[in-house]
Every structure is written in structure tokens, then in C-alpha cells.
Amino acid sequence: MLTSNVCFGIIFFFQTTVGTLANFFLLLLYIFNFLHNYKSRPLLLILTQIILANITMLVIKGSPEMLHAFQMKNFLDDIGCKMMFFLYRIAHGLSVCFTCLLCIFQAIIISPNNSTLSEFKSRVPEYIPSFCLVCWIFNILLEIPVLIFVRQARITTNNTIESNILYCSLEMFIEMYFIMTTLRNVLCVGIMLWSSSYMVVLLHRHHQQVQNIHSTSFLSRVPPEIRATQTILLLMGIFVSFYLLHTISLISVTYLDKNGQWLTFSPILSLSFSTLCPFVLLPKAPKHNCILWTRKDADSILS
């Protein structure tokens, strides 16, 4: 009969393998579309970096979790722990920031011509590379404390200020670091919820206008903006749901049950969005502009 550790090891293996392969396949599609689809290049740049962040989190975080579940000990030294957590935290921050950027720019692109956001449409392609660079610099600088305070797991006493995190240990959180990362995540999630709600309202209003114009036979086909709405809602719903669940698990591990099953469920939840994200985007990827609305498409919406 399989033990709980072996079961968790199988889950991590399946999650890491399937998620990495799906993200890698989607990355190849996005690179191909990026090279052959000029109009969608700015938003494809954001999506490509989200997929890269997903692959990094799955490989960097999933592999050690799997090895630990299979009872492998001391497979990371101080340098290994520092680099693993540093790369994982950067990838996690980039995933949050780039997902937020995707929602912001998409909301601007599909905004009606008479809205306040419409004046930014023509400059959106110019801003995206700069914002991407800012996201990279900000997250790298923000995660520098991880290189200082994470180290190889060791036996601790009641008088120490370290806490073991499975195969590595972490000294007491720096208050400023905790505040900065929390503010980043809360701000990005809040903006994602606002921009997603804004896009849903716009597309719903457009769908109502289309219903008043076209015949019922024409309406038997689902308009592309409705499919885009469903994709955005599903993607944002998955991200926010797993973010909240992961936050609850971290609170449980930190304050309630440091040695319980939450310690194993927490990394599973942290990698769930990275695993499911490509399966939400893959059905749309071959169509180039599935959820990536071009300016020409946007001009026809609620003008």
C-alpha cells in the first residue's frame, strides 16, 4: 500500500511533468506566432514571459518537492537552497506581475473609442517592452533578501530563529520584505480583478448590442468576444482562486500547523496555476488573435 509521501511524490511528478511539457509546447507556439504575427507581438511578449515563469516555477519548485516526498535527504546545500528559492520567488513575482499586465493592456486595447483609456491604445505596443523590463528589475531587486536568509536545512533548537521548510531553512522573515511582497501581490490581484470586470462589462454590453442588430440565426454562433470573455474569466478565476488558497495554506503552515499536511499541500497549490494555465490558453493559441484583440478589432467594439 502506498504511503502518503509516495502519493505526494507521484502528484508532484505528474504536476511537474505534465505542466512543464504543456507550457513548453505553448511556448513554442507563442514564439512561432511572435515571429509571424506583427500585430500581436506586444501581448505575445507578455504571454511568453508568463509561460517562461510557469516553466521555471514547475522545474525549480516541483523537482525538489518530488525528491523530498520520495524521502531523499540533503540533496541541496546552502548555495542550492539560495538559488532555488531565489529563482522560484522571482518566477512567482513575474507570474503575478505579467498576468496583471496582460489584464491591463487587454482592457486598454478593447476599451471603446469614447472612453478615457482609448487615448492610450496607439501607445500600448511601445509601453509593453518597458513595463516588462521594469517587472524584471523590480522583482530581482525585491528578492535579494532570499539570497541572504535562506540556507540548507539543519537541526534547530528552541532558542534559534530559523524555521525548517522541508529541505531548506529560512531565518526569521524581514518585515520590510514581507510587506513589499504582500503589497505587490495584493495590488496586482486587485488590478486584475478590476480590469477583468471592466472587460466583462464591455464585452457583455457589446453582445447585447449585437443581439439587437443581428438575426437569431446569426446568434447561433458564439461571437469571438464572448469566447474571449470566457477565457479571461477562466484564467483570472484560476489564478485568483489558487492564489487565495495558497495564501491560506501559508498562514496555516506559519501559525497553525507547522508540521502537518498543509506543509505538503502548500507547494501543490502554489504550482497549480502554472500547471493549468497552458490548458486554458492552448485551445486558443493556433488562432493567433484568440484573446489578443488587435486595435482593428477594438475599434469595432462599442465605438
- CB burial of 109-127 (b: ≥16 within 10 Å; e: otherwise) equals bbbeeebeebeebeebbee
The answer as to whether 192 is a domain residue is yes
The answer as to whether 51 is a domain residue is yes
Which CATH number does the domain housing residue 250 bear? 1.20.1070.10
What's the whole-number mean pLDDT along residues 53-73?
83
**Which carries the bigger pLDDT value, residue 118 or residue 99?**
99
- What phi, psi does 151 have (nearest 5°)? -150, 175
What is d(CA 134, CA 97) in angstroms, rounded to the nearest whole number?
10
Length of the chain (residues): 303
pLDDT tens readout for residues 176-211? 788 889 899 999 999 999 988 888 888 777 667 766
**Which carries the bigger pLDDT value, residue 67 or residue 27?**
27
Q: Is the pLDDT of residue 286 over 70?
A: no
The answer as to whether 162 is a domain residue is no
Q: Which helix (H) or strand (E) holds 287?
A: none
What is d(CA 178, CA 112) in angstroms, rounded to the nearest whole number?
39
Q: Report the percent of the chain where pLDDT is more than 90.
A: 23
pLDDT of the residue at 137: 96
The answer as to whether 53 is a domain residue is yes
The answer as to whether 226 is a domain residue is yes
pLDDT of the residue at 260: 54
CA-wise closest residue to 105 among 17, 196, 168: 196
pLDDT of the residue at 55: 95
Q: Which residue has 509521501 as its cell numbers?
A: 5
* Residue 170, beta-bridge partner list: 150, 163
pLDDT of the residue at 224: 59
pLDDT of the residue at 221: 59
Q: Is the pTM above the cut of 0.85?
A: no
Q: Is the pLDDT of residue 18 over 90?
A: yes
The answer as to whether 161 is a domain residue is no
pLDDT of the residue at 290: 42
pLDDT of the residue at 218: 47
CA-wise closest residue to 103 among 57, 54, 46: 46
Instruction: Determine the structural domain holding residue 41 and report its residue range.
Output: 4-155+167-299
Neighbours of 224 (CB within 10 A): 16
What is d(CA 86, CA 84) in angstroms, rounded to the nearest whole number?
5
The answer as to whether 160 is a domain residue is no
The answer as to whether 274 is a domain residue is yes
Contact 195, 241 (CB under 8 A): no
Number of domains in the chain: 1
3-class SS shares of the chain: helix, strand, coil, % to 5: 75, 5, 20
Mean pLDDT score of the chain, rounded to an integer?
77
